[in-house]
């Protein structure tokens, strides 16, 4: 049986090694399972402790996607098996989100350089892996998005932390519309650090191996930066659609008036720009409850630490399995593929601020601590 994550250690000049972790589930666009997350987390810990490892490269097989998201089929089966209606009675969701979020946090706080090759589709769970890496690289094929509004979820995996720290209105727009970003817009927003053409990737790997790395972690971070800058194309990436409409999006989406923002984005369905049209139509076809939840979350977490954001998202993710539209969204888009979800609530006006508070109630027994209580607390 082929492993869904491949691990290699390659000798570099000077006696140190480059570690490479490759997502290896191209048929599912490298969507993350619990086992994949657990294997990657364990290997990262081993590489962190190994003084011979200078840096880690995180890439993927298939060419089409780095990672398109999480294991929605497994989450769906877990929801179907939950007969009690309690968010805590879904062992699959409890384990998956626990393991996935811990891995994401581990990447964010990893001391050694992690070069993440975000070529192709980088969405959902893939964003969770990508955004925490110390050296985030995009290419001419990058398609970066948080598309959860279409399945009744919200931008998790630390996505609310990321989006809440973008310029006013931009994060809200991306959360509500699942708008796709290319290399230029990722760099413009600080969601990526470097651009390398796909044709140069093999040469870049060879250069990593031909480089003598240091025993000092800080020096390796700096050396990897210099190397990646050498590979940036001389010709700038074409202006992205978000950059083109940056001021408009900020005006439409700034503030926290959900109904007003929703209405203003909806008006873009008739805009002359196809990218803005698609953004508006995605919002209108998506879950109104998820849209409300996303805006409320972005407001709640904007001053939280990263660890606290993951703890908040963990509660909300479990509640989405019983309180919101996640089961119906996965059914309509992934399982039955009829693309006709029946959302509840059905309209933005019904998704009130009072209604959304149900998602923030811890579902576990009162005498139990948060399952991610230790996140960020050290050894």
CATH number assigned to the domain with residue range 5-360, chosen from the 4 options 1.10.3720.10, 3.90.226.10, 3.30.710.10, 1.10.579.10 = 3.90.226.10
Domain spans of the chain?
Answer: 5-360
Is the model's pLDDT at 1 over the cut of 60? Answer: no
Residues 318/100, Cβ–Cβ less than 8 Å: no
In the block, residue with structure tokens 């190994």: 50
**Which tokens go with 53?**
């490892």
Q: How far, in Å, are 73, 79, 80, 86, 145 from residue 83 at the CA level?
A: 18, 8, 7, 8, 33
Q: Between vectors from CA 190 to CA 189 and to CA 196, what angle results, nearest 5°?
A: 105
Share above pLDDT 90 across residues of the chain, in percent, rounded to a whole number: 96
pLDDT tens for 126-174 read 999 999 999 999 999 999 999 999 999 999 999 999 999 999 999 999 9
List, for residues 73-102, the tens digit of each pLDDT value: 899 999 999 988 899 999 999 999 999 999
Instruction: Dump pLDDT digits (tens) for 175-216.
Output: 999 999 999 999 999 999 999 999 999 999 999 999 999 999
* Chain segment 266-283, per-residue pLDDT in tens: 999 999 999 999 999 999
Q: How far apart are CA 309 and CA 329, in angstroms?
A: 24
- Between CA 128 and CA 311 the distance in angstroms is 15
The per-residue pLDDT for 190 is 98
Q: Is 210 exposed, middle or buried (0-12, 13-18, 19+ CB in 10 A)?
A: exposed
- Res 203: pLDDT: 98
Taking residues 59-72, report their average pLDDT: 95
The stretch 308-332 carries a mean pLDDT of 96
The whole-number average pLDDT for the span 350-371 is 96
Mean pLDDT of 337-357: 96
Q: Is 70 exceeded by the pLDDT of residue 379?
A: no
Residue 83's pLDDT is: 83
Q: What is the mean pLDDT of residues 213-227?
A: 98
């Amino acid at each position: 049986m082929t492993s869904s994550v491949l691990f290699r250690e390659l000798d570099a000049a000077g006696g140190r090694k480059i570690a490479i972790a490759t997502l290896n589930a191209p048929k599912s666009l490298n969507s993350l399972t619990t086992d994949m997350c657990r294997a990657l987390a364990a290997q990262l810990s081993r590489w962190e402790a190994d003084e011979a490892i200078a840096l880690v490269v995180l890439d993927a097989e298939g060419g089409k996607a780095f990672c398109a998201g999480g294991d929605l089929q497994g989450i769906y089966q877990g929801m179907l098996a939950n007969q009690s209606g309690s968010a805590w009675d879904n062992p699959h969701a409890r384990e998956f989100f626990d393991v996935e979020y811990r891995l994401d946090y581990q990447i964010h706080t990893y001391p050694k350089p992690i070069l993440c090759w975000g070529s192709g589709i980088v969405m959902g769970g893939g964003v969770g892996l990508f955004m925490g890496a110390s050296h985030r690289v995009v290419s001419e094929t990058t398609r970066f998005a948080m598309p959860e509004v279409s399945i009744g979820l919200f931008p998790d995996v630390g996505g609310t932390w990321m989006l809440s720290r973008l310029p006013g209105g931009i994060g809200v727009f991306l959360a509500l519309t699942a708008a796709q970003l290319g290399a230029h817009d990722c760099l413009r927003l600080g969601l990526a650090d470097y651009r390398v053409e796909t044709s140069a990737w093999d040469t870049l790997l060879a250069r990593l191996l031909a480089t003598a790395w240091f025993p000092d972690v800080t020096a390796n971070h700096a050396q990897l930066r210099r190397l990646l800058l050498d590979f940036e194309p001389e010709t700038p990436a074409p202006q992205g659609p978000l950059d083109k409409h940056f001021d408009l999006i900020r005006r439409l989406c700034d503030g926290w008036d959900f109904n007003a923002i929703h209405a203003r984005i909806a008006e873009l369905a008739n805009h002359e720009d196809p990218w803005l049209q698609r953004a508006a139509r995605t919002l209108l076809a998506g879950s109104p409850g998820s849209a409300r939840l996303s805006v409320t979350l972005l407001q709640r977490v904007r001053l939280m630490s990263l660890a606290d954001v993951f703890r908040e998202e963990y509660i909300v993710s479990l509640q989405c399995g019983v309180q919101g539209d996640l089961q119906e969204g996965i059914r309509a888009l992934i399982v039955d593929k009829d693309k006709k979800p029946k959302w509840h609530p059905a309209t933005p006006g019904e998704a009130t601020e009072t209604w959304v508070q149900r998602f923030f109630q811890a579902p576990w027994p009162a005498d139990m601590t948060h399952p991610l209580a230790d996140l960020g607390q050290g050894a």
